[in-house]
Structures are given as C-alpha cells and as structure tokens.
C-alpha cells in the first residue's frame, strides 16, 4: 500500500474446477471528506506552556467539576466581579420540564451588580487599565482609524448615559440601536447597561461575500423590531460607507419610524443621530475639501458631503437630535444603577420558524459570567493579546465577543467597520499585520470567500502574530477549515470551531485551543457547565456514536431567559418538543470519541452566510405580490453562502412567469426583510407536491432544488405527476 494508492489482490474460485484468477485492482484514494475529518490536530506546545487550560486532562477536570459541583464552580467564577450585594443562597434555580410548570432559569437571583461597572469601572479603578486600549477602531478606509482606551470609553459611556437619561430613558425602558460598526455602538450599549435600560440592537451590517456590500435588514424589519420591544429611543447615524456603497442609515430609520406610525405604535420619542460618515472621514485630503458642506444646514434638511457625494439627511426637528449635541456636553460622571442579577440586559432578535422574529432576552449577571469565562478560555486570552472578531456587533457574536466578553477581560480588540474585500482582497490580512492581531475570529462564509482569491493575498502580509483562530455561525467544511489552518494560521494556530446561538448567549460546544485535539469540521466538546444530549425523533436519549436532535439537559449562566413578552412562544419553541430539555433546533452527530458534529438545522430555518433565516418569513414576503397564489421556500447548498434560498412560486391564473416578475419578487423580499434574504432561485411551480391532507412536502422540494432524482417514497403525495413538471421547470443557474 503506497500513499494514496491501494492495491487489492483477489482470488476467485469456480465451483467445479478450481480456477485461480489474480485480479490486481488499483484504487486511488483521493483525499475526501472522510479522510480530512479523521486527521487530528493536536494543540501546539508553545501555546500550552502558558495557557489557562493547558492540556486535555485539565479540561476534563474542570468540566467534571462544572457538572458535578455547579454551585461551587459558578460561585468561584463570580468572585472576579464586583457585586453590590454578593450572590448568596442557591446559585442556580431552574425548571426545564414543561410538564412540571413554567420554564425558568435563574443564576444568582437576589445578588446586585451592574454590567457596565464590571466591564469598565472595575478595569479602570480596580485593575488599573485606564490607559489600556479597549478598541482599535479601523474604518472602511485604511486611513480612518482611532484608538479608545478603557478610561476614555468609561467617560464617553457616562456622557451618553447622562444624555439618555436627559431624553427620558429610565431603568427597564427599551432603546433601539441602528448603528454601524463604530465606537458609539458599544458606547450606547454600555450606557444602557449602566442605567438599567434594555438595548435592542437592530443593526445587522453583515458580510455578504458575493456582493461585499451592505446587506442588513430593511426599514420594515427595523420597524417590526422597534414595535415589538416598544422602544422609546432610537439611536442611529447619518450614514456609513461599506466598501464603495454609501448607506443612508438616517433615511432607513425615518422610513422605519413611519412604518411604526402606520402600525399604530409610534413609541419612539427621540431619534439620536451620530454624525459619523462626514465627521470621521475628516483627516483625508479628499474629505477636508468637503467639510464645508457640513455647514449647509436647515431645520428640515442637513446635507453631508463625503467623497463628492451629497447625501440628504432628513430631519424632524421635534424628534431628531445630533448625538454630538446632546452627548458631548454631558458630565463624565454617572452613577451606575445597581440591578438584580436577573434584571434584563438586552433583547436581540433572531429569526423564528413561524416567520415572526423572536426577541431573545438576556439578563445581567449570568450573561456577564458566561461571556467573560468563554472569552477567557476559548481564545485563551492574555493581557498582551490583540483580539479581532470580524462579526457585526448587532449580531450576538458581536454582543458577546466584541462588546461584553472581551471588555470583561480587559482585552484590546479591533473594531472593524469595513468589508473583507475593500479596498482590496487582502484587507483582513493587512489589518492583522497592522495591529499585530493574535486572536482572530470570523465566519466560515468569509473564509470561503477569501479562499477564492488563493494564498497570494494572504502571503503578502506578516501574520506571525496570530496564535489562535476561531469560526462561528455555520458548520465549517473541512476544505475551508484546512485552508484557514494552513494558509492563514500557517499550520501553527489551532482553529476553534465554536457552536452556539443567540439563545445560548455564548459558546456551548467548542474546543479550548491549548487543550482540545481538533478534528476539522467538528465543534468538538461542551464548554464548562454544558450538558449536550442527542435524542431521536421519539425523544429517547441516544448513547455513544449517534445522530439526532441536539439538546441540552441543564442551563448554564448565559442561556436566554425568555422571548420578550411571549412566554408561551418561548416554551413552545424550545421546550415543548422534548420535555426536560432545551432544544437547539440543530441536528448533530456524536462520533466514537464523543466529538460533536453539527449537521444543520432540523426545522424550517436556513443558514445563509451564517445568518439564520426563516423560510416562512420569505414565503410571507413573496405571497404579498399580487401575482402569487402560493409559494414554498427551501434551502439549496451554495459554495460561498453555505446555503441559499430556492423558491417555488405558483402564479394566479392570469399571470405569466417572466424575467421581470422574478426581479419584482426578489425586490419584494429585499424590501420586506432585507438584501440578506434575496432569493438566488425563483422557479415557476404550476403545482406544489402536497400530501392528501394538503401539507407541502418540503423534502421533495429540497430534492428538486438540488436536482436529486432519487426521491424515495412518494406514496403520500396526492398527485405525483407534479414532481416531473417541477423537474422540467427547474432553475439551473441563479
């Protein structure tokens, strides 16, 4: 047996005569998925020397303690933080079983603390980190950058907190945030946390690899979220460049506030507008010339000039105020509001399979503890690290691992406004070299995009500062994992594939870089306090090697506490299917070594470029078009996005399926949900495959979208001829 080549010698015997036949069969073993999955990557020794969890045995010992003695484990972890009233009594109280009463989970209830005090004042006052850089802000253009120390951040947060109080915000009020990746975004979140207001960040300026431009949610989606949380203030910005594209955030915000009026819920009293794109652009020649434009101002319209483009900032003098006008003049002192450990910290919306987004609610102390601890261990954080997470802060990844987790550890983070391919495809690598980034965290979709350009743009830059790489958001295919490990990490940086959800608050299945042997494509093993189980369709727990539903048996401090204003939906979404367990909605396989491999969603959700979308929501948007009689949306694999949307549309009798109609339908989805949800494929479907009881068989549609001819058992279909018709209309190209 040579490398990659297998020779087989076979003997064949005939029944009557003995006939010896030598067959030499040469099989070339092409390194396939299985091969790559099976190679194990061990932690580098130099990382282990100084690590918080330096080997596998220490991981096992800590994990064992977190499960067997959870009260002591979390009480010890809590000691690092400042408590106005210390946790006493029982640390953890919970009920995960719907048959025994309401679902609830509480950590350290009764203790009093403040998130903002712990991530800022504690660092500045107790740990003497006032001069340490909290954020290295890197703008859309490399020439735009700014550093913010912990001391400066604290002062700015206090000013903002005072300004919010002046606008009438009180403890428990909800504040909507629709900001780009700028320091004011973190400042606003922390200011809310300081005064006990609940932030709801609605911005999702995401990486959209195919177009590398803004692809957040639309004004209607923003409105839906503002109305659901009944926000009293909206904080936004004049505009922002993403790559070459200018996004007029204020205009989108205005449209959203109009929709709120139309929905009969005009709760927003004040709209605070950060003058960002014009002000921060100053400093470059190009922009200096244009500064003059900022002074052309009337009460109704404000013109901003930047890059020779005039944008109109619509203005409502009664409602709108410039951030700079109300924040800059405020005092640098603001006493924190001491909150109960279980008081709400923020709401963050995530897609729901019914189509209506769910406002996931997190509370103060458990979230602080969990994001802080996972950040410290999963990235093996040390004082001299420069850490960079490329996610948007408006995504849970940004909340937990750009804002709260890193700040709680006194970390220095890069805060990046731009996109991976602007002004050139080596931008990420350039930023890593520029700041000496040692821990880097991004999404598989970004890796697949950058992989397309080969190793040359990576090799142009000095990436020797890197020590740990991370991924999040979707399963990472082994090819992308290996490229990340070899081309970016130069074979010496472990890749931590972190599985978690908006709902889990922080990493739940994840390697620890100096402790866990890695298998490309596997999120490996549970974090401390997390007890994963795999269940079959009947809710029976499967042992050993198994595949089924991924569920968790007990809460950990960072788990969501509910869906804002909807306990019933909270229980039915996560706890009713398998009483006694939190149900993730993901499928999972456990291999012979006990490693976990996420296999994808088990519900009607799709993961497009690491962002969850609900098929029902897209179907709802398409159905609003006058030509549409019926519609069904399924996922189809996509080389960059992981998955993309494939829509089957049945038209009303009088309508014709044309190219223009397809464009109109795509436009409808963009307008209702946002560019992230734009379907790649829209196919004419004269009929849909339905069971006799009228239920659409999505499995069949998924197979048609993927051109899988072997459809298995179709006996439950009311009319199986429809399948051939759908195959004949199949979209071959996007």
Q: Which residues bind ligand WTA (CB under 6 A)?
A: 350, 396-397, 472-475, 497-502, 523, 584-586, 598, 601, 607, 612
Give the CB-side neighbour count of residue 636, counting CA atoms within 13 A.
25
DSSP-based three-state secondary structure for 442: strand
User: Of 328, 405, 338, which is closest to residue 367 (Cα–Cα)?
Assistant: 405
Minimum gap (Å) between residue 502 Cβ and ligand WTA: 3
Beta carbon nearer to ligand WTA, 195 or 402: 402
**Cα separation, 273 vs 276, whole angstroms:** 9
Beta carbon nearer to ligand WTA, 248 or 502: 502
Q: Evaluate whether 62 touches 527 at the Cβ level (below 8 Å).
A: no
Six token digits for residue 139? 């703008």
Minimum gap (Å) between residue 610 Cβ and ligand WTA: 7
Minimum gap (Å) between residue 82 Cβ and ligand WTA: 28
Number of CB atoms found within 10 A of residue 176's CB:
31
User: Of 390, 315, 531, 404, which is closest to residue 119 (Cα–Cα)?
Assistant: 404
Beta carbon nearer to ligand WTA, 192 or 598: 598
Six token digits for residue 83? 């408590």
Beta carbon nearer to ligand WTA, 180 or 635: 635
Minimum gap (Å) between residue 599 Cβ and ligand WTA: 9
Q: What is the 3-state secondary structure (H, E, C) of 625-640?
A: CCCEEEEEEEEEEECC
**Cα separation, 340 vs 323, whole angstroms:** 30
Query: C-alpha angle with apex 582: 581 to 585, nearest 5 degrees?
Result: 120
DSSP 8-class letter at 484? I
Report the relative pairing of strands 495-498 and 468-472 from DSSP bridges.
parallel
Minimum gap (Å) between residue 293 Cβ and ligand WTA: 39
Beta carbon nearer to ligand WTA, 216 or 585: 585
Core vs surface per residue 429-465: b (16+ CB within 10 A) or e: bbbbbbbebbbbbbbbbbbbbbbeeeeebbeeeebee
CA dihedral angle for residue 388, residue 392, residue 394, residue 396, rounded to 10 degrees: -60
Collect contacts of 24-29 with beta carbons under 8 A, ≥24 apart.
28/4, 29/4, 29/5
Six token digits for residue 555? 């809460």
Minimum gap (Å) between residue 382 Cβ and ligand WTA: 24
Report the relative pairing of strands 344-350 and 198-201 from DSSP bridges.
parallel
Minimum gap (Å) between residue 348 Cβ and ligand WTA: 9
Minimum gap (Å) between residue 499 Cβ and ligand WTA: 4
**Cα separation, 373 vs 493, whole angstroms:** 21
Minimum gap (Å) between residue 400 Cβ and ligand WTA: 8
Minimum gap (Å) between residue 444 Cβ and ligand WTA: 8
Sequence-ordered alpha helix ranges (H) in 454-601:
456-459, 478-483, 567-574
Beta carbon nearer to ligand WTA, 152 or 477: 477
**Cα separation, 87 vs 107, whole angstroms:** 9
Strand partners, 149: 133
Beta carbon nearer to ligand WTA, 227 or 523: 523
Beta carbon nearer to ligand WTA, 589 or 730: 589
Beta carbon nearer to ligand WTA, 65 or 553: 553
Beta carbon nearer to ligand WTA, 321 or 472: 472
Beta carbon nearer to ligand WTA, 380 or 586: 586
Contacts of 399 (CB under 8 A, 6+ apart): 189, 201, 346, 348, 393
Beta carbon nearer to ligand WTA, 213 or 584: 584
Minimum gap (Å) between residue 177 Cβ and ligand WTA: 17
Strand partners, 419: none
Minimum gap (Å) between residue 98 Cβ and ligand WTA: 21
**Cα separation, 486 vs 495, whole angstroms:** 10
Beta carbon nearer to ligand WTA, 394 or 426: 394
Minimum gap (Å) between residue 389 Cβ and ligand WTA: 11
Q: How far is CA 471 from the centre of its chain?
A: 11
Six token digits for residue 51? 């690590």
Name the one residue in this structure whose structure tokens are 């303690």. Answer: 65
């Amino acid at each position: 047996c040579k490398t990659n080549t297998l020779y087989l010698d076979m003997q064949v015997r005939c029944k009557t005569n003995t006939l010896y036949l030598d067959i030499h069969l040469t099989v070339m073993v092409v390194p396939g998925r299985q091969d790559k999955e099976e190679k194990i990557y061990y932690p580098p020794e130099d990382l282990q020397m100084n690590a918080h969890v330096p080997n596998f045995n220490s991981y096992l010992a800590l994990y064992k303690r977190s499960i067997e003695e959870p009260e002591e484990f979390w009480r010890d972890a809590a000691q690092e933080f400042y408590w106005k009233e210390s946790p006493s009594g029982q640390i953890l109280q919970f009920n995960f079983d719907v048959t025994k009463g309401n679902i609830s989970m509480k950590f350290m209830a009764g203790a009093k603390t403040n998130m903002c005090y712990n991530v800022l004042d504690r660092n500045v006052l107790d740990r003497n980190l006032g001069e340490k850089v909290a954020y290295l802000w890197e703008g859309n253009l490399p020439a735009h950058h700014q550093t913010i120390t912990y001391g400066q951040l604290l002062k700015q947060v206090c000013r903002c907190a005072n300004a919010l109080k002046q606008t009438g915000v009180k403890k428990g009020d909800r504040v909507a945030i629709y900001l780009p990746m700028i320091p004011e975004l973190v400042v606003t979140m922390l200011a809310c946390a300081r005064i006990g207001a609940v932030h709801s960040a609605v911005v999702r300026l995401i990486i959209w690899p195919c177009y590398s431009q803004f692809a957040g949610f639309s004004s209607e989606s923003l409105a839906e979220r503002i109305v659901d949380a009944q926000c009293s203030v909206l904080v936004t910005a004049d505009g922002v460049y993403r790559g070459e594209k200018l996004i007029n955030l204020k205009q989108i915000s205005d449209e959203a506030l109009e929709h709120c009026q139309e929905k009969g819920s005009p709760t927003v009293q004040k709209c605070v507008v950060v003058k960002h794109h014009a002000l921060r652009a100053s400093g470059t020649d190009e922009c200096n010339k244009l500064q003059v434009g900022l002074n052309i101002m009337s009460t109704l319209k404000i013109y901003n000039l930047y890059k020779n483009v005039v944008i109109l900032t619509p203005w409502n003098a009664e409602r709108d105020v410039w951030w700079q006008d109300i924040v800059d003049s405020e005092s640098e002192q603001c006493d924190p509001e001491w909150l109960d450990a279980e008081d709400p910290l923020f709401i963050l919306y995530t897609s729901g399979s019914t189509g209506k987004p769910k406002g996931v609610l997190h509370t103060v102390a458990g979230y602080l503890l969990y994001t802080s601890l996972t950040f410290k261990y999963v990235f093996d954080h040390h004082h001299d690290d420069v850490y960079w997470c490329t996610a948007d802060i408006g995504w849970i990844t940004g909340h937990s691992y750009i804002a709260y987790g890193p700040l709680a550890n006194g970390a220095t983070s890069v805060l990046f406004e731009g996109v991976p391919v602007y002004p050139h495809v080596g931008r990420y690598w350039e930023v890593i070299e520029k700041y000496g980034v040692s821990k880097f965290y991004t999404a598989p979709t970004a890796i697949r995009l950058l992989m397309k350009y080969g190793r040359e743009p990576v090799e142009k830059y000095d990436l020797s500062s890197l020590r740990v790489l991370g991924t999040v958001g979707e399963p990472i295919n082994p090819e992308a994992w290996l490229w990340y490990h070899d081309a970016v990490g130069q074979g010496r940086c472990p890749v931590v594939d972190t599985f978690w959800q908006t709902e889990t608050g922080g990493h739940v299945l994840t390697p620890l870089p100096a402790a866990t042997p890695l298998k490309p494509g596997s999120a490996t093993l549970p974090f401390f306090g997390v007890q994963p189980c795999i269940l079959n369709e009947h809710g029976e727990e499967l042992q050993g090697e198994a595949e089924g539903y991924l569920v968790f048996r007990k809460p950990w401090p960072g788990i969501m506490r509910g869906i804002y204003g909807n306990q019933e939906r909270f229980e039915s979404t996560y706890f009713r299917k398998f009483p006694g367990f939190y149900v993730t909605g993901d499928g999972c396989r456990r291999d012979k070594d006990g490693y976990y491999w996420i296999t994808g969603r088990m519900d009607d959700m799709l993961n497009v470029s690491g962002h969850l979308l609900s098929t029902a929501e897209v179907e709802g948007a398409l159905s609003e078009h006058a030509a549409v009689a019926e519609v069904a949306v399924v996922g189809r694999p996509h080389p960059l996005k992981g998955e993309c949307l494939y829509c089957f549309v049945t038209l009303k009798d009088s309508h014709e399926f044309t190219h223009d109609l397809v464009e109109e339908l795509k436009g409808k989805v963009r307008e209702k949900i946002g560019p992230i949800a734009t379907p790649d494929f829209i196919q004419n479907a004269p009929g849909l495959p339905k069971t006799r009881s009228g239920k659409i068989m999505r499995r069949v549609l998924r197979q048609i979208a993927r051109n899988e001819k072997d459809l298995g058992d179709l006996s439950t279909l009311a009319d199986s001829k429809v399948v051939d018709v759908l195959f004949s209309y199949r979209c071959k190209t996007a």
